[in-house]
Structure 1
Amino acid sequence: MEHLKGAAHDHRWARDVREAAWSGGGLHAALLLIDCGSGRFTLWRGMLWAALALLLFLVLFPAHVTAGENWLASRRLLGERRVRTDLLVSVRCLDGVSQRLLLRDALGAQVLIDLRPLLNNPDLWHRLEEGARKADADGLLLCGRTALQRLSVRADRETALAVFKVSGLE
């Protein structure tokens, strides 16, 4: 755990895990109630509903994003992926149901992360941006300057809105 000393992390991760657990548990309870109410409950159906609820939990389980000096990591249930932010060669924004960021470094490592942890945690964003600026200054960042500039503007806007909201000036 020495490598995590002084690292920035997603402060909302634990809440997101609880929400995923509540969603899976709520689905399981609802399905059991419906089954019991209709008189069709069996042990096998209960196990099927439990498996379905577990699947929902696994789908909703968020990645734990952490960043330190010149690195960013995303840890999921089955492992961790890490990139060196000072050696980034590519940064791409991917649109879809949720916006994600694909980071690739000169060592061949890549990480795909949701944008929300970066936008909700200025420390995480600062660590990524700091490393990316170094990679750009060293001539390594071949793709993604525009994406980083847009994200920087968006992160600054989100931070300013959060400050206004907390101070009551919204």
Structure 2
Amino acid sequence: MRRRMPRPAGRHGGAATDRTRAAVADAHQAGERRTAVALAALAGAALAGADAAAGMLTWQRAALWALLGGVVFVVLVPPLVSAAPGRLTSRGLFTERTVRTDALVSVRWSDGVARRLVLRDAGGRRVEIDPGVLVRNPALWHRLDTDLRLSAGHGRPVPGTDALRQLREHVDGAAARAVFDVSGLGQDRSATAVSPPSSTDGASPG
């Protein structure tokens, strides 16, 4: 009886596997989603509890407070940002947007109080992301930064030098602070700065 030899993965299958393994996503989004669920439930329960205490709770009002809790969740839950070689995706509850990070034509800050990083590619696709997601996820930033540098190396520099420079400074600063915190150097420096120097002259008040 012949023994079948395993077939080697084809070129396309291996490339797909490598691409999947190279994909990274926001590692903190699950915790933020749980927080949004908790706050939404708390808001609905608090309103329903206030109605019950006042003797005004009906099933219609309970449904209204449950709906309001759902709205709070939709407002608070952040989109899931993920990146793979050549693309970056922002996936919300009802929408999903993707840009080609190897074909970007613009990187800039959005207008308004809450600053967002706006990326637009040659196909007209556009994604807005919270820059804090990249600061909190070095692997996600590294994936995006790698594509930007490769694009510039191939003669396709991305307009938006100021926004990218500021973002790199934020990420590098956050990484440096994390290293200090993990090593304990940050605490030592803080203690040194706060603690006054001790007197060594042994002089006594006259």
Q: How high is the TM-score relative to the length of structure 2?
A: 0.77
- Please say if residues 148 and 158 of structure 2, whose CA atoms lie closer than 8 Å, have aligned partners that are also in contact: no
User: Match of 2:159, SS?
Assistant: coil
How far 1:8 moved relative to its partner? 1.2
Query: Against the structure 1 CA distance between its residues 26 and 4, is the aligned structure 2 distance closer, same or farther, given a 3 Å change threshold?
Result: farther
Report the AA paired with residue 79 of structure 2: A
Report the AA paired with residue 125 of structure 2: A
Any idea what the Cα deviations from partners look like across 1:91-136, whole Å, max 9, x if unmatched?
0112544321110111221111111111100011111111112233
Question: % of aligned pairs identical?
Answer: 43
Report the AA paired with residue 64 of structure 2: L
Matching residue within 77, 85, 97 for 1:61: 77
Count of matched residue positions in the alignment of Structure 1 and Structure 2 = 170
Any idea what the Cα deviations from partners look like across 1:21-60, whole Å, max 9, x if unmatched?
0010010111111111111111111111001010000011
Aligned to 1:43: 59
- Please say if residues 108 and 163 of structure 2, whose CA atoms lie closer than 8 Å, have aligned partners that are also in contact: yes
Report the more deviating stretch, 22-31 or 142-151. Answer: 142-151
CA distance in 2, matches of 1:80, 1:121: 20
- Please say if residues 90 and 141 of structure 1, whose CA atoms lie closer than 8 Å, have aligned partners that are also in contact: no
CA distance in 2, matches of 1:75, 1:36: 38
The yes-or-no answer on 1:144 pairing with 2:169 is no
* Structure with greater proportional strand content: 1
How far 1:139 moved relative to its partner? 4.3
CA distance in 2, matches of 1:71, 1:38: 54
Alignment of 1:92-107 (within 5 A): 92-94=108-110, 96-107=112-123
How far 1:10 moved relative to its partner? 0.6
Could you say what the CA RMSD is over the residues aligned between the two structures, in angstroms? 1.7
Alignment of 1:89-168 (within 5 A): 89-94=105-110, 96-141=112-157, 143-168=159-184
Matching residue within 12, 18, 31 for 2:47: 31
How far 1:162 moved relative to its partner? 1.7
Q: How high is the TM-score relative to the length of structure 1?
A: 0.92
Greater RCO (Cα-Cα under 8 Å, separation 6 or more): 1
Which structure: larger Rg? 2
CA distance in 2, matches of 1:96, 1:25: 30
CA distance in 1, matches of 2:157, 2:63: 50
User: Match of 2:185, SS?
Assistant: coil
User: Match of 1:34, SS?
Assistant: helix
* Unaligned runs of at least 5 residues, structure 1: none
